[in-house]
Amino acid sequence: MSTIAEKIFARASGKGEAEAGDIVMADIDIAMMHDLTGPLAVESFNKIGTEKVWDSSKIVIPFDHQVPADSLDSANNHILMRQFVKEQNIENFYDVKEGVCHQVLPEKGHVIPGTVIVGADSHTCTYGALGAFATGIGSTDMAMVLSTGQLWFKVPETIRFNVEGKLKENTSAKDVILNIIGQVGADGATYKSCEFAGETISNMNISDRMVLSNMAIEMGGKTGLIEPDEKTYDYLKDRVSGENKNRLKAFIEKSNLKSDLDSPSLEIMDIDVSELEPQIACPHNVDNVKPASELDVEIDQVFIGSCTN
């Protein structure tokens, strides 16, 4: 009677079992920091006095926030991070032009179902779309991870969004998650593991699922998890290499990474999206969500991008 989050922390803590509310020390499988948050983590790491990181193969550093450098400070941050990569023999360094960090990690095969991933960025929860417990942490916490490969967690309760119905034309995963946030509120899932399940989710591709997991933080969620399925494995099988390929194979052979619906820490919310139309988050809060048809706003400029879609 365990949720996905509880099952992941049972493994990562070495305890064999974990329940919502438990405080556990968990082994970290992947740690990510980028050019903006990395320098603070590196400075804190240096203050600790540890000479070498715990495992250079498990650290991923993409440059994606201030690229190319837009100021002297950001240029110096690039220098500091490049020196750290060289000194610590960081294997997974993605330089300017490689892409946004939250797309780079899945695309480059660093995300494996059932693992624990931390990142010095609030939208690290994106990787939950592939079945990893992924969450953002602060730079000082990251310094401890760099030193020890471990971090303490309070095992979260879970809210499971069962999403059913075929989406209308021109309605997408972004509309689904905005609608959910509008119902739950910007703090309605605070420190909860947000699970997305149901027929609608099963029919989504991985990119669409990443949109849902990415925005779990916008309703206060600790992470945004989706049960891995054949689409997950098909996405990952040609992207992973080395140890991760073996881990993915082992995971497929013995995985039971799904929430038991009788878990006492599981709350279920049913959502029908068959009549959902395009949604807009209006000023000044992400949960101020309205159907686009209700807005009479002339569009002057559109930005397509960011880590969420």
pLDDT tens digits, one per residue of 271-286: 999 999 999 899 989 9
Q: Which residues contact 92 (CB under 8 A, 6 or more apart)?
A: 57, 59, 60, 61, 108, 110
Under 8 Å between Cβ of 116 and 26: yes
- Whether residue 207 lies inside any domain: the answer is yes
DSSP state of 150: E
Residue 241 pLDDT more than 90? Answer: no
Q: Which residues contact 200 (CB under 8 A, 6 or more apart)?
A: 163, 164, 165, 166, 167, 176, 273
- Label residue 73 left, alpha or beta by phi (over 0 means left) and psi (-120 to 50 means alpha): alpha
- Whether residue 301 lies inside any domain: the answer is no
- Whether residue 246 lies inside any domain: the answer is yes
Under 8 Å between Cβ of 120 and 34: yes
Query: For the domain that residue 286 is a member of, what is the CATH number?
Result: 3.30.499.10
In order, the DSSP letters of 56-96 are: GGGEEEE--SS-S--SHHHHHHHHHHHHHHHHTT-SEEE-T
Range of the domain at 76: 4-294
At 294, the amino acid letter reads E
Q: Which residues contact 79 (CB under 8 A, 6 or more apart)?
A: none
At 253 the pLDDT is: 64
Query: ω into residue 68 within 30 of 0, thus cis?
Result: yes
Residue 237: pLDDT band with limits 50, 70, 90: confident
Mean pLDDT, all residues of the chain: 90
Report which secondary-structure segment, H or E, holds 279: strand 279-281
At 250 the pLDDT is: 72
Residue 175 pLDDT more than 80? Answer: yes
Provide the domain count of the chain. 1
- Whether residue 46 lies inside any domain: the answer is yes
Q: Report CA 124 to chain centroid distance, whole Å.
A: 4
Q: Provide the percentage of residues in the chain whose pLDDT is more than 90.
A: 66
Residue 254: pLDDT band with limits 50, 70, 90: low
- Whether residue 136 lies inside any domain: the answer is yes
Q: Which residues contact 3 (CB under 8 A, 6 or more apart)?
A: 20, 158, 193, 195, 259, 260, 263, 265, 266
The more confident residue out of 260 and 123 is: 123
* CA distances in angstroms from 11 to 55, 123, 133, 164, listed in the order given: 19, 24, 12, 31
Residue 262 pLDDT more than 90? Answer: no
Q: What is the mean pLDDT of residues 228-252?
A: 82
Q: What is the mean pLDDT of residues 56-67?
A: 86
pLDDT tens digits, one per residue of 1-51: 789 999 999 999 998 899 999 999 999 999 999 888 999 999 999 999 889
Residue 235: pLDDT band with limits 50, 70, 90: very high
- Whether residue 299 lies inside any domain: the answer is no
Runs of H (alpha helix) within 215-286: 230-236, 243-254
